[in-house]
Amino acid sequence: MSRWGGKPRLIDVELGKHNIFIDLANSGQRPGCEGVLEFVKTWGLLCDIRMASQRLSDFLDARQNLMSAVRGDKQALLRLVSLGRGGSSRGVGFGPLHAAFVQRSGGSELNFVADSLLQFCVLEFLHAREGGVNVLPCRACGKILPLHRVGAPKVYCDDACKQRSWRKTHRVEINRARREARMHRPTPPN
């Protein structure tokens, strides 16, 4: 039984079908441990499925490294893959990756089997990058946007973030216009 109340479980998903790594990266947008708990309740722990528990600090380190890797930090991806491989860190490790050739009617395919949700998230992220899909943070709030396949990439989550960004860039003009409007208001009679 896990400290988080979840049970170790097998998750059978294919790369490209879900955006679990985006859910993991965006769990950092929620206050306190709320995002961590929501992610763990939905997907489970990041650790090896044979482990019974995971420390919160390990989860946060792995998530921070993934978020940095998504934003383009190659060193963060290396830290993520080497985390827990016998160095000083005893945290959630990427661990050994298992590969197998599967015979299909059209030939053979190379399949990777992830032992942990962290491995799957890293593989999913690398698969998206290899496919030429850019993963970008929202310019206003920093939330990782869903994968785009066609057309120009989204740069804002929604209209509220777009408006927030516009107001931030035009803050000086907005404040000047408000001050001028207050100065030209007629004074109320006493």
The residue extents of the domains of the chain are 20-183
Name which CATH class applies to 20-183.
Answer: mainly alpha
**Given this model, what pLDDT does residue 145 score?**
82
Q: Give the end-to-end CA distance of the chain in Å, rounded to a whole number.
A: 72
pLDDT band at residue 94 using 50, 70 and 90 as cut-offs: low
Q: Residue written as tokens 């015979």?
A: 103
Which alpha helices (DSSP H) does the chain contain, by range? 20-26, 34-43, 56-70, 74-82, 117-130, 159-169, 171-183
**Given this model, what pLDDT does residue 5 score?**
46
Q: Quick check: 26 pLDDT over 80?
A: yes
- Mean pLDDT score across all residues of the chain: 75
Distance between CA atoms of residues 168 and 147, nearest Å: 26
| Weakest mean pLDDT among 77-86, 116-125, 161-170 | 77-86
**Of 53-57, 67-71, 171-175, which one has max mean pLDDT?**
171-175
Maximum pairwise Cα distance, the chain: 90
**Given this model, what pLDDT does residue 87 score?**
39
**Given this model, what pLDDT does residue 24 score?**
87
If you average pLDDT over residues 98-121, what whole number do you get? 77
**Given this model, what pLDDT does residue 93 score?**
59
pTM: 0.63
| Weakest mean pLDDT among 85-89, 124-128, 139-143, 169-173 | 85-89
